[in-house]
Amino acid sequence: MVLSVILLSCLFMTHSRGGWLSLIVVFIVFLWALRKQEIGKVFFRLVFYLISAIMFVYFFPNISKDNPMQSVVQRATTIVDLEHSSVMARFQFWEGAVKISLNNPVMGIGLGNFGRVYPRFQKNVLYFSHYTHNYYAQMAAETGIIGFIFFMLIIFTVLFWGFRLIFRGKLSCFEVDDVALNQLVRIKILCKEKLMTLKALSDRQFSSEEFIEELTKFEFTENEIKEILTYSDRGYYIRSVGLFCGILGSMIHSFLDVDWNFPAIPQLFWIEIGMFFIFISSILPSKRFTLPGWSSIFSLVARIITGLILFLTLLLYLCFWKGEIAQDKARLFQEQGDSINVLFCLEEAIKWDPLNPEYHRDRGRVLFSLYKLSKKKTEYLDYAIMELEKAVFLDSYKAAYHCDLGHYYIEKYYSGKKEFLHKAREQFKIAIVNDPVNYPQFYSTLAQIYLLKQNTADAEKIYLKGANVMKNLRDINRLWSFRKESFRSQLIVANFGLAELYMSMKKIDDAKKYYARVLELEPGRFDANYGTGMAYLSEENYKKAEFYLLESISAHSSLNSNEILNWTHLVTLLKEHKSPFTQKLWNFLDQDTKVILESWDVEHNSDDEFKSSLINNINKIFLEKNLYDKNIFGNINLPVEIKTLLDMGQENLSLSQKKRLNRLLFEVIYGEEITKSQLDDISELYYLIGLCNSKEKNYKKAKAYLELSLKFNPKFIPTFIELGQIYEDEGQINRTRKLWQKALEIDPNNSVLKFLLDNNYDTSSKDRKKDL
């Protein structure tokens, strides 16, 4: 009784709705099967078990969830909710299984292969599974019509005899064993001679009618027969009903879930079926078949064939096992970076199991890595391609094999073999057919192949399919955690590639749409912000362009758009001391200065006296603590000017040099925050931001950004040109000319600079800009 309550409680806490439905059906069938028993007692016991299990769950929330009964009720209500994700997923799995069985009606796709073939028919990336969550549909898909018919014959046979037993309401099976004899001796109802007669019948089983007839022959009285029947009844009916209800529950649950895909459960299922038929053997038809006299030959042949099958099965299992051992050794060598031994181990695995495509794929990957490490030695690449071609031949459904082979063909194309680009395209087309929704990277690579062929129209179509594999991007959070990040990164590549393609095609609105999708997937992404800024710049929407260009910088530093030109933020960086450089400085500041920094607030930004005193205080601490000592900064990369001043020593520095060193140290902090992502185009970014402000006639801000651009790249010619234009608009003609002459010294062949310098300065700036 206690065990029953615990098992029922466990069933509730699994939150398995298929298990609950199975329990309800089995409960009803069991009550009907015991209708001729003492139904009151049976019903009372079952209800007691259920109520006890519910109370067990309710009063032990620490082993379940908070408010466990509420979670059980909420879970149960989703059974009839056809819009629930798990219900919709099951419908999609079943639909896929039906389509697979219709495409492979005779022999199916082979046991255990549903997960390999299902992606070809998958509609929604959210709903992927290696199993159908309906074993009957899975059998139809994997074994075809023939296998499905034989499987269902077994199922219907069990159901037929189970329900026939229940409708009869009894199963008479009597046997006089030692227990029954001892009970009859104890009640002293039979004489010694009749007990000896009963003992003579102890090696046989009887039905009710047969047993009464046999006892009547030996002149047992009605009262004696009644007592003998009571003590010799084996109770096979209740045991058979219990077994059948367990079998029925497993059948129902397998219609909704995956339990028969795990060996332990079907093993128990077939054991229960065997026991069930043993218990009901008295009601099974007893038919005898007369075989020809030479039937012994058939028997001999059958035994030989069975023995050969068992031997071959054992041999194949041994080969598989040896192959797996070799593969495990290869993985160990791979962790150690020993590629040569990895190849030897995989070669041994292939010898034991030459039809396993995974071994060929692993070997191909190792060879490709050797190709990369050996400065692109083409022999390794050729062998890698050969191994992947074998893997594709052995398993043409696996999209990942076609993807790897396609990448190797592309590498072959870049090595000078132009014909391999067509082969790569075909491999990625097959990969997309085999798995059209789970890997957006297939579409991205195929689109890039079309772009290499200068086929922009087809590239756009392919990119569109890949970018819209998941239309509602919020659904990405519903993916399994082990798939989420990989799928997100692939989706970002597809959307970003499409946005870049639209930019090259001058479809600005479409480009902004897909840049926005990238930013929805990864807020603050640099290249998406930069691309969006350039899109708005091309539309002459300078405010929006500036916003996204500033966001692209913010994505790679702790500075936001309001802080980039803010001197006081440099102090904030020291206060937060998150980077190696600022952490170094923070460690050497005294407690008073740290208190000042910790109390510093943005509200004081307008207080010039506060800023000045704080900076002077920090400078004083630098002097007192000898923080100008170059040894303090360790291996931090410092500009040459700072190193020069540090080498001079603080006692040899003038006041202006000390101030200069102080300023340079803060600029290092600033530059470190900006460039910690090692952006190569930071100078161009500041130039573009300055350009946006220049177009908006915000010259003060524009000059600040343009000067910042030159700080990061003193030879960036566009910055010189735009900065000169601003000075010219402000009437500083001489300064403009000096700036452009300096730029011309950097790039003597720049035609734009020559045009600007050769023009008459009496010409209006507006007209000359128009000519330019």
The model's pLDDT over 700-714, given as tens digits with 9 standing for 90+, comes to 889 888 887 887 788
Mean local confidence (pLDDT), 155-182: 80
User: Mind giving me the DSSP string for 134-155?
Assistant: -HHHHHHHHHHHHHHHHHHHHH
Task: Please give the residue that has the higher pLDDT: either 168 or 347.
Answer: 347
Q: For residue range 373-407, what is the model confidence (pLDDT) as tens digits?
A: 887 788 899 999 999 999 999 999 999 999 999 99
Are both 645 and 716 inside the same structural domain?
no
| Cα angle, residue 296 at apex, residues 293 and 301 outer, rounded to 5° | 140
Q: 37 by DSSP, 3-state: which?
A: coil
Are both 245 and 122 inside the same structural domain?
yes
Are both 114 and 257 inside the same structural domain?
yes
253 occurs within a structural domain = yes
Are both 162 and 226 inside the same structural domain?
no
Cα 704 to chain centroid distance, Å, stands at 46
Q: For the chain, give the percent of residues with pLDDT over 90.
A: 30
- CATH number of the domain that residue 763 is part of: 1.25.40.10
Report the C-alpha gap between 432 and 439 in whole angstroms: 8
Of 675, 697, 717, the last residue of a domain is: 675
Q: What is the DSSP code (8-state) at residue 291?
A: P
Highest mean pLDDT, choosing among 234-243, 364-373, 608-617, 763-772 = 364-373
Residue 278 has pLDDT above 70, yes or no: yes
268 occurs within a structural domain = yes
102 occurs within a structural domain = yes
Phi and psi, residue 274, nearest 5° = -60, -45
Of 612, 647, 675, the last residue of a domain is: 675
Which among 120, 133, 142, 19 has a CA at the least distance from the CA of 85? 133
What ranges in 453-590 are assigned the alpha helix state H? 456-467, 481-504, 508-521, 526-538, 542-554, 567-576, 580-588
pLDDT of residue 762: 44
- Say what the pTM is: 0.72
Are both 128 and 259 inside the same structural domain?
yes
With bands split at pLDDT 50, 70 and 90, how would you rate the model's confidence at 606? very low
With beta carbons less than 8 A apart as the criterion, state whether 345 and 323 touch.
no
Are both 205 and 254 inside the same structural domain?
no
Q: 399 by DSSP, 3-state: which?
A: helix
Which among 662, 740, 671, 668 has a CA at the least distance from the CA of 712? 671
Residue 766 has pLDDT above 60, yes or no: no
Cα 79 to chain centroid distance, Å, stands at 26
Cα 27 to chain centroid distance, Å, stands at 39
Q: How many domains does the chain have?
A: 6
Q: Please give the C-alpha separations between residue 687 and each of 129, 682, 695, 744, in angstroms, as whole numbers.
A: 51, 9, 12, 18
Helix axes 526-538, 481-504, angle to 10 degrees: 20
In terms of phi and psi (left: phi > 0; alpha: psi -120 to 50; beta: otherwise), the region of 273 is alpha
Are both 140 and 259 inside the same structural domain?
yes
H or E stretch at 633? none
- Which amino acid is it at 129? S
Q: For residue range 628-667, what is the model confidence (pLDDT) as tens digits?
A: 455 545 445 566 777 777 677 666 777 667 656 655 665 5
With bands split at pLDDT 50, 70 and 90, how would you rate the model's confidence at 42? low
Residues with Cβ < 8 Å from 430, sequence gap 6 or more?
396, 399, 402
Are both 576 and 708 inside the same structural domain?
no
Joined together, the tokens standing for residue 186 give: 């104890």
Residue 561 has pLDDT above 50, yes or no: no
Q: What is the DSSP code (8-state) at residue 92?
A: H
Are both 641 and 577 inside the same structural domain?
yes
Report the C-alpha gap between 486 and 182 in whole angstroms: 72
With bands split at pLDDT 50, 70 and 90, how would you rate the model's confidence at 449? very high
Are both 64 and 109 inside the same structural domain?
no
- The residues pairing with 174 across neighbouring beta strands, listed in sequence order, are 206, 233
Q: For residue range 514-539, what is the model confidence (pLDDT) as tens digits?
A: 999 999 998 888 889 989 999 999 89
766 occurs within a structural domain = yes
Full domain range(s) for residue 755 = 682-771
Report the C-alpha gap between 651 and 629 in whole angstroms: 11
Phi and psi, residue 15, nearest 5° = 60, 25
Of 28, 50, 80, the last residue of a domain is: 80
Joined together, the tokens standing for residue 712 give: 């990061």
With bands split at pLDDT 50, 70 and 90, how would you rate the model's confidence at 564? very low
Are both 202 and 136 inside the same structural domain?
no
Q: How many CA atoms lie within 13 A of 546 on its CB side?
A: 18
Are both 255 and 215 inside the same structural domain?
no
Cα 508 to chain centroid distance, Å, stands at 33
Joined together, the tokens standing for residue 379 give: 């022999």
336 occurs within a structural domain = no
Mean local confidence (pLDDT), 466-483: 85
659 occurs within a structural domain = yes
Q: 174 by DSSP, 3-state: which?
A: strand
61 occurs within a structural domain = yes
pLDDT of residue 76: 63
Mean pLDDT check: name the lowest of 212-221, 350-359, 369-378, 499-508.
Answer: 212-221
With beta carbons less than 8 A apart as the criterion, state whether 463 and 480 touch.
no
Phi and psi, residue 174, nearest 5° = -120, 140
60 occurs within a structural domain = yes
With bands split at pLDDT 50, 70 and 90, how would you rate the model's confidence at 70? low
pLDDT of residue 69: 60
Q: For residue range 279-308, what is the model confidence (pLDDT) as tens digits?
A: 887 666 655 555 555 567 777 888 899 999
Mean pLDDT check: name the lowest of 186-190, 217-221, 438-442, 612-616.
Answer: 612-616
